[in-house]
Amino acid sequence: MSRYVTLKKNDPLFNQYLWGICDIANHTALPMSTLNVGSPEETITFEIVENSSIEKPTQSRVLLNLIKIKKLYLVLVPFLYVAIKNYVDDRFFDPLSFALSLIAMLAIFIGFNIRNDVIDHISGYDRVNINHNKPLLKGWVNTHFASRLSNFFIGLALLISLPIVYRQREEGRVIIVVTILLFLGKLLTKNSYKNHRWGEIIFFVLSGPGVVSGYQVALGAGIDTEVLAFGILWAWSIQFLVHLNNFSHLLTSAQAGIKNTMTRYGFDGAKKIIIYWWIIFVFLWALYHYFYSSVFWGWFTTAILIFWSIPTVIKVDQIQSPLGSDTRMIKKIGYRNFLLMTTLVIIEFTWYWLTKNSWTP
Amino acid sequence: MNLKIFNSKDFPAYLPKLNALYDDLFSGGKGFRSKLVQMVSDPIALPQETQHLLCQTIEFIHNASLLHDDLIDGSHLRRGKPAAWTKYTPEYAVLAGDYLLARVMVNLSGFGNIKLVQFTSETISDLLEGEWLQDSVVGDFFVGLDQLDRIHNLKTASLFKWCLRAPFIAAENYDENLHRTLDEMGTILGQLFQRSDDLLDYDIRNDEGKAILGDLKSGYLNSFGAFISKDMNRAQIDQMVKSHDLNEFYKSFSSDSELGQKLFKTKVEEFDQINTKMIELYSHHLVELEKQLKKPDLIKALKPLTEILYWRRKPKS
């Protein structure tokens, strides 16, 4: 058998190869990446490699990579926030539903992360914006298995949410809104890798206000402005990471006609957006603390964020090229900013937990 | 077919300096790109007149890019002679390059195939984008090979893609699958040519006697440089950047120069290996092309290109 196979979309074998369910004894078909970014979803060249030649990490590491274990804190930190806030406010009404909501949230988060990889793989996005560590591109797992795993986690999340809805009826409304937004997102992007603009807005709503509302309602505490304010703050910071990621492959995305905020405003505009986005975040942080936190933590954490942000802003402003190592460096620096902010949230709220009732906003 | 790409009659006689500049520029060039156009055009029986137009077009674009490139890079020599900007002033070099690109559009629009005009304009855009991007990573010694590949795909491979596709467009064959295959082949040829050219900088297969470490000294980490630096630590990269000759360069691998040279050779072998894989992929696309076109002459002509472009040796007959 030839080492390479090129298949067109209308070829009966196309989907079998792409989903990794082709019948090639002891071999795996890996889609090749392309620099010709016009229409990678139309024709794909596959490299046929022997299974034994694929350098595969241990199964547990593959799984951890696939579920993006390092990103789980994106749903764990809001959980911690809601738990402490309601503990301090004496509104910790339904611990069981709350615990179940965490499991459901983790399952849905994992399920959608895997689904996202599957969609990127099928649409051709991962062959245009090459990320060498994607388990699907490396052949560590086949797309079909990943898709089934994604379905399993999403199904698990739905199953776990049933007793929550039974105990906290309001949760049903949150789930309906989230489901509508998810379908809307899928509809607006037409499952294509080329339009991410609507996806950004929907992701913003879901990743912040959506997550904290889900926890809050599961706890039986009801949604309030404080929790929504934190949700917006959290979503704003996550969107900062999304912008940084899109900025790091601005060039290839623009060449491929992918539409997101970064490609829309171009290199110089995108740099400004990243800078202003973070400055606005620090402002929102200060505002949140002004209304809902202790004076000390408000001043202390805002001051830390401002001092830490100055070099970041300077470095983003100094980037000269949409290619090169600068874009990778900025992604790292921005990520560090995010981690610092997360650490501050954890320290601050742990303090509230330990010193319950001994401070006033 | 022997083609005279440049004829002084093509340009206004009342601009003698322009003609003199072109005389200097076009003499001594290997005309590889126009040969590639002919390799594709002959088997598909493209009329001689059209072939001439295409050959002239690609050489005009290529030479316009050289005129501008030498000025941007501050290169004093081109094909062993003073670069145009040093002999005729930078202003004339810029104008002469612009004029060539303008002639391309005049000639092609006269031919009347709007798709060919559009494709050629896109190729020129890609070329300029590539130049621009390359300039933006000068001084970046942490740039990755995948990032440079993107630059080279625009700057170098775009012309190879044009050479492969333009004859079919001129023959009004717009089959999407055919052009996709040719795009992939052009990308590979461009990458291989660029990578081989970048190896010359490290005195690998440097039969032309190209200046050693020229790219590195001018602050540009080329594809081979990016390949070897990905496994280096900061101190090694610092040593690499300040190297004045190959002996100093080997020390970026090991303080023992002899061991450093040995490690360097291992890296060259690894680099050759990844490019061999690319050559295999090119062969695969050739098979695909044969299935689509049923033109064995064309396949025979295109087959040895990787030998010539990457290994810089005459193909075995």
**What distances in angstroms separate CA A195 from CA A186, A187, A261, B10, one per listed residue?**
10, 11, 10, 47
Number of alpha helices (DSSP H) and beta strands (DSSP E) in chain B = 16, 2
Asked if the model's pLDDT at residue B220 lies above 70, the reply is yes
The band of A86, judged by pLDDT with boundaries at 50, 70 and 90, is: very high
Higher pLDDT, residue A125 or B173: B173
Between strands A43-50 and A27-31, the pairing is antiparallel
The band of A137, judged by pLDDT with boundaries at 50, 70 and 90, is: confident
> Which of the residue ranges A20-29, A237-246, B160-169, B301-310 would you say has the lowest mean pLDDT?
A20-29
Between strands A43-50 and B77-78, the pairing is unpaired
Identity of the residue in B136, B157, B187 whose CB atom sits nearest the CB atom of A323? B136
Asked if the model's pLDDT at residue B237 lies above 90, the reply is yes
By the CB < 8 Å criterion, does A3 face chain B?
yes
pLDDT one-digit tens code per residue, A4-47: 999 888 888 888 998 988 878 788 888 888 887 666 557 888 99
By the CB < 8 Å criterion, does A267 face chain B?
no
Task: Say whether A321 and B177 touch across the interface (CB within 8 A).
Answer: no
Q: Tell me the nearest-neighbour CA distance from A132 into chain B, angstroms.
A: 10
> What amino acid occupies position B255?
S
For chains A and B, count residue pairs whose Cβ atoms are closer than 8 Å: 68
For every residue of B256-292, DSSP letters joined together read: SHHHHHHHHHHHHHHHHHHHHHHHHHHHHHHHHHHHH
- The share of chain A scoring above pLDDT 70, in percent, equals 93
The band of B2, judged by pLDDT with boundaries at 50, 70 and 90, is: low
Greatest Cα-to-Cα distance within chain A, rounded to the nearest angstrom: 74
Highest mean pLDDT, choosing among A16-30, B157-171, B251-265: B157-171
Q: Tell me the nearest-neighbour CA distance from A163 into chain B, angstroms.
A: 49
Task: Say whether A323 and B150 touch across the interface (CB within 8 A).
Answer: yes
- Look up residue B111 and give its two tokens: 């031919």
Q: Tell me how far apart the alpha carbons of residues B58 and B5 are, in angstroms, rounded to a whole number.
A: 10
Q: What is the pLDDT of residue A2?
A: 59
Asked if the model's pLDDT at residue B164 lies above 90, the reply is yes
Average pLDDT, chain A: 89
DSSP E strand stretches across chain B:
77-78, 81-82
By the CB < 8 Å criterion, does A45 face chain B?
yes
Task: Say whether B136 and A45 touch across the interface (CB within 8 A).
Answer: no
Backbone φ, ψ for residue A208 (5° rounding):
-110, -85
- pTM, two decimal places: 0.89
Highest mean pLDDT, choosing among A221-225, B13-17, B117-121, B141-145: B117-121
By the CB < 8 Å criterion, does A326 face chain B?
yes
Q: Tell me how far apart the alpha carbons of residues A277 and A204 are, in angstroms, rounded to a whole number.
A: 13
Tell the residue number behind the tokens 């900007």, with chain if given. B85
Q: What is the pLDDT of residue B223?
A: 96
Task: Say whether A4 and B180 touch across the interface (CB within 8 A).
Answer: no
Q: What is the pLDDT of residue A119?
A: 87
Asked if the model's pLDDT at residue A283 lies above 80, the reply is yes
Please state the rounded mean pLDDT for residues A302-328: 92
Q: Tell me the nearest-neighbour CA distance from B57 into chain A, angstroms.
A: 23
Query: In b/e form, how buried is each residue of A281-319, taking b as 16+ CB within 10 angstroms?
Result: bbeebbebbeeebbeebbeebbeebeebbeebeeebeeb
Q: Which residue is closest to A2 within chain B, CA to CA?
A: B284
Q: Which residues pair with B78 in a beta bridge?
A: B81
Q: What is the pLDDT of residue A120?
A: 85
Please state the rounded mean pLDDT for residues B46-65: 94
| Residues A336, A271 contacting (CB under 8 angstroms) | no
